[in-house]
């Protein structure tokens, strides 16, 4: 007679992200972002791109995996980020999911050491503070193009916040001795504290200021 699964395999009582951090007590305060921030208990946040061909499939991707996906980039190639063109910086992370996973894991360890708090909760605070509520779009009347203020959908707010956090980390360690993991941890902590030194938070204020002047 076969033994039950509980005797043949080790089944943990609680599944923790990356085997270290629980998501049970993580709270999302922003009601508009809450439906789009996936905090399901998952040991390895890696879905192998199964959401790619599904409409709005990224809304079901774990928030930590979405950060990992944003980290897999070379920086701003056709525009300046914090005054720099970063065409070749951090290109070693492009298309290397597990390497980016290790970078984010190391950044979470640094956040935990510096703040003494759950790094996933700190990440949620950073996203809430870095997600702009207004932006501008261009419309044309009589052959003249105008910029008008528009509200941003919650899913795009989340995309913009994660993208700017990743870009801010790239800018912080550009041509410095700081590692990308250290820069990412610092950017998340600054954004969570609404510090103007955070690239993501300052970019949010800039976007909303331009939108306000375009009303």
Give 200's contacts (C-beta < 8 A, 6+ positions apart).
126, 129, 130, 161, 164, 165, 167, 168, 187, 191
Q: Tens of pLDDT along 163-188?
A: 999 988 988 887 788 899 999 999 99
Residues forming beta bridges with residue 145, ordered by sequence position? 140
**Contact yes or no for 157/64 (Cβ under 8 A):** no
Residue holding tokens 């809304």? 59
Alpha-carbon distance of 62 to 196, in angstroms, equals: 28
Give residue 84's pLDDT. 57
Look at residue 97 in the predicted model and tell me its pLDDT: 84
Model pLDDT, residue 190: 96
Q: Where are the domains of the chain?
A: 12-213
pLDDT at 42: 84
| Domain 12-213, CATH homologous superfamily name and number | Ribosomal protein S7/S5 (1.10.455.10)
Task: State residue 87's pLDDT score.
Answer: 55
Q: Which of 137, 116, 140, 136 is nearest to 189 (CA)?
A: 116
Q: Tell me, what's the pLDDT at 93?
A: 72
Count CA atoms within 13 Å of residue 177 on its CB side.
0
Q: Angle 144-157-128 (CA atoms, 0-180°, nearest 5)?
A: 140
Angle between helices 63-71 and 154-172 (to 10 degrees): 50
Those residues of the chain that have pLDDT short of 70 are 1-13, 74-92
9 CB-side CA count, 13 A: 5
pLDDT at 3: 62
């Amino acid at each position: 007679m076969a033994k039950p699964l509980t005797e043949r395999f080790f089944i943990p009582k609680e599944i923790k992200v990356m085997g270290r951090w629980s998501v049970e007590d993580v709270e999302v305060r922003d009601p508009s972002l809450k439906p789009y921030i996936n905090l399901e208990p998952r040991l390895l946040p890696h879905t192998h791109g199964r959401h790619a061909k599904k409409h709005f499939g990224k809304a079901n991707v774990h928030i930590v995996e979405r950060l990992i996906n944003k980290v897999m980039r070379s920086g701003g190639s056709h525009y300046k980020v914090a005054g720099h063109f970063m065409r070749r910086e951090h290109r070693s992370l492009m298309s290397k999911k597990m390497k980016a996973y290790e970078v984010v894991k190391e950044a979470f360890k640094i956040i935990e050491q510096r703040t003494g708090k759950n790094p996933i909760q700190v990440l949620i605070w950073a996203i809430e503070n870095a997600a702009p509520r207004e932006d501008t779009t261009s419309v044309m009347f009589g052959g003249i193009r105008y910029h008008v203020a528009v509200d941003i959908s919650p899913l795009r707010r989340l995309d913009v916040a994660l993208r700017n956090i990743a870009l801010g980390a790239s800018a912080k360690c550009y041509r410095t001795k700081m590692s990308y993991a250290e820069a990412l941890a610092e950017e998340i902590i600054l954004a969570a504290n609404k510090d103007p030194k955070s690239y993501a938070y300052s970019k949010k204020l800039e976007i909303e200021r331009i939108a306000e002047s375009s009303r």
